[in-house]
Amino acid sequence: MLNNFTNHGSLSDFSLNYARQLTANDHLRLSVAHNSVSFQVPNELVQQDAGQMQGRRNERPAEM
């Protein structure tokens, strides 16, 4: 059985919304969002002994 030498992950997100009624017929709406997730991948014993770390990261760029 292999040990799990790494066990860490994080998730972050940010969103901003702005809405305004300019006139009776004109509306303005802005939205921005950013999402990110990262986590460590368990090492094999050979990698752990060599001091190597594996990680994965996935980002969703800001949208408008």
Whole-number pLDDT of residue 53: 63
pTM: 0.46
CA–CA distance, 62 with 64 (Å, rounded to integer): 7
What's phi and psi for 48, nearest 5 deg?
-60, -45
Whole-number pLDDT of residue 22: 94
Domain spans of the chain? 9-63
**In which band, very low, low, confident or very high, does the pLDDT at 59 lie, cut at 50, 70 and 90?**
low
> With 60 as the cut, is the pLDDT of residue 64 above it?
no
The string of pLDDT tens digits covering residues 10-47 is: 888 889 999 999 999 999 999 988 888 877 766 667 76
> With 60 as the cut, is the pLDDT of residue 1 above it?
no
